[in-house]
Structure 1
Amino acid sequence: MRIICVDNYEQMSKKAANIVASQIILKPNSVLGLATGSTPLGMYKQLIKTYEAGHIDFQEVTTFNLDEYYGLSRDNKQSYYYYMYENFFKHTNIDMRKVNIPNGMAKDINEECCEYEKKIRKSGGIDLQVLGIGRNGHIGFNEPDIKFEATTHMVKLDEQTIKDNSRFFKSIDEVPTSAISMGIKTIMQSRKIILLASGEEKADAVNGAVNGKITPELPASVLQLHPDVTFIVDKEAASKLDLEKIKKDYC
């Protein structure tokens, strides 16, 4: 595990974008696992700038998103398909035929989850997975107590997650209570992982993920077992960490 501590959100976003850009430059047909929410927005903006400057090309890239709300169609402005298209895809030359996001309107959820896993395997697996982290330590929509061996599956969202995500909706009553998410097992099979965290409200989760007991009660703690994972955190998100110890143990 490597910990990169930066001063602020902007620096976190630039560091993350540089890692993703490097992955694409070294392997133009990379398979990327992508995240949504407020945390990776800055990273996507930086990647768009890098693309517009002519430094990277997305044409051969394949993407798999971590999750999607259950019950929201792709044209719903709160769906993660809409988020990805508006905030990233439409600003690059990515081939939309190589974009994969769970179908939140699927009639047969089990079949949808199985097919998503098959697509990941057929692509050769994820080269670089981008993660955020929830206040309760969730990664993707893998909430506390979801078993580590889970692959893509349907999840019931925790009250805290619903509350946190309500800022994107007109009211908390509009927030979906279920989602389709890559499972911990799928995430851990990625060759390389970067986790982004910004803000004091993420400090406990980050500290638990880095220093805590490895347990499904704090899903991100399993990342301690991954052979190539990098946490990119700003000073506020790193405020509960012993940075001197981390430099000695991890960097």
Structure 2
Amino acid sequence: MRLIIREDYEEVAHYIANYIKERINQFQPSSERPFVLGLPTGSSPIGVYKKLVELYKSGELSFQNVVTFNMDEYVGLPRDHPESYHSFMWKSLFMHVDIVPENVHILDGNAPDLDEECKKFEADIARVGGIELFLGGIGPDGHIAFNEPGSSLTSRTRVKTLAYETIIANARFFDGDISKVPKLALTVGVATVMDAREVVVIITGAHKAIALAKCIEDGVNHMWTVSAIQMHPKGLIVCDEDATLELHVKTVKYFKSIEHVHHSLIGAENLSLQGGVKQLRSPVSNDRPQTPFE
């Protein structure tokens, strides 16, 4: 697992958007071999989506051969409701880029058979060969997607009853009226996310500092479902300084030192995008490449 620490949310969003751009471009997707991208909703990815749109408009990135799968959707909320995740994704990203509408997969919270909808979603992921990169955000309690504390770490896409605290928190999006807040959601499972070949998680803000500490410094725990990333061979967390407030000083220094060694002593040109070392820099070289995505 890698932890990249940046100064603030803006720098985190910039890093992740450019990382996704590089992953897609290096993959060289085609219609026969698309890049399959898992995506979240909520406040965490808004800055990332804004920067991805900018990269598309500048000609640095295309979504023409990208297939997407979203993490979750409310049950019973009309598809065109402003708070539906379908509306969120089209307003925040899809309507601004060249993605093919048929390549967008968002769970249908109004499906006549919700269990079958969840099974179909898993089957659709398998049909395209699995997810290449799953981007995720978390809540202050360490949940990823709607996999709230207590969710099984082997869970798959399913119908999920929302915790009372989640319903109360979401009331702010529904005029403060708790009766309007959906009580159920469809969500990918923890295992669905962890099956992706790479998982990238955004964690920013002091209010998520405890969750980051639980994820990084404690063991894998179903009460902090994001901690499952510890078991992933290609897990990446990108956080801001505020989110590190509950980490031990030595933990922060360790991860910062790893990045320093990578880019100051080994050299960015000798690293793969995912952090693997391709070769060592020649000892006579005095070059000092900039950190990627600065």
Report the TM-score range of the alignment, normalised by the length of the smaller protein: over 0.9
User: How far off its partner does 1:233 sit?
Assistant: 0.7
Across the two proteins, how many residue pairs are aligned to each other?
Answer: 251
% identical equivalent positions: 37
Tell me the distance in 2 between the aligned counterparts of 1:201 and 1:249.
21
Q: Which amino acid aligns with 1:58?
A: F
Match of 1:91 in 2: 96
Tell me the distance in 2 between the aligned counterparts of 1:236 and 1:160.
24
Match of 1:219 in 2: 225
Match of 2:112 in 1: 107
SS at match of 2:134: strand
* Pair 1:249–1:93, CA change in 2 (3 A): closer
For residues 206-235 of structure 1, give each alpha carbon's deviation from its aligned partner in whole angstroms, at most 9, with x where no partner exists: 111111221111111111111111111111
SS at match of 1:16: helix
**Would the aligned equivalents of 2:3 and 2:255 in 1 still touch at CA under 8 Å?**
no
SS at match of 2:243: coil
Tell me the distance in 2 between the aligned counterparts of 1:172 and 1:26.
47
For residues 142-166 of structure 1, give each alpha carbon's deviation from its aligned partner in whole angstroms, at most 9, with x where no partner exists: 0111111111001111123223333
Q: Which amino acid aligns with 2:194?
A: M
Q: Which amino acid aligns with 1:11?
A: E
Match of 2:6 in 1: 6
For residues 18-65 of structure 1, give each alpha carbon's deviation from its aligned partner in whole angstroms, at most 9, with x where no partner exists: 111111111232100000001100000000000000001100100000
Tell me the distance in 1 between the aligned counterparts of 2:249 and 2:78.
43
For the aligned residues, what is the CA RMSD? 1.4
User: How far off its partner does 1:105 sit?
Assistant: 0.4
* Pair 1:238–1:166, CA change in 2 (3 A): farther
**What's the TM-score, normalizing by structure 1?**
0.96
Structure 2 gap ranges (5+) = 259-294
Tell me the distance in 2 between the aligned counterparts of 1:5 and 1:170.
35
Tell me the distance in 1 between the aligned counterparts of 2:106 and 2:249.
36
Runs of 4+ in 1 over 3 A off after TM superposition: none
* Pair 1:249–1:236, CA change in 2 (3 A): closer
Match of 2:82 in 1: 77
Indicate yes or no: 2:162 matched with 1:163.
no
**Would the aligned equivalents of 2:75 and 2:109 in 1 still touch at CA under 8 Å?**
yes
Tell me the distance in 1 between the aligned counterparts of 2:211 and 2:181.
23
- Which of the pair has more CA radius of gyration? 2
For residues 181-213 of structure 1, give each alpha carbon's deviation from its aligned partner in whole angstroms, at most 9, with x where no partner exists: 000111110001110011111111111111122
User: How far off its partner does 1:249 sit?
Assistant: 6.3
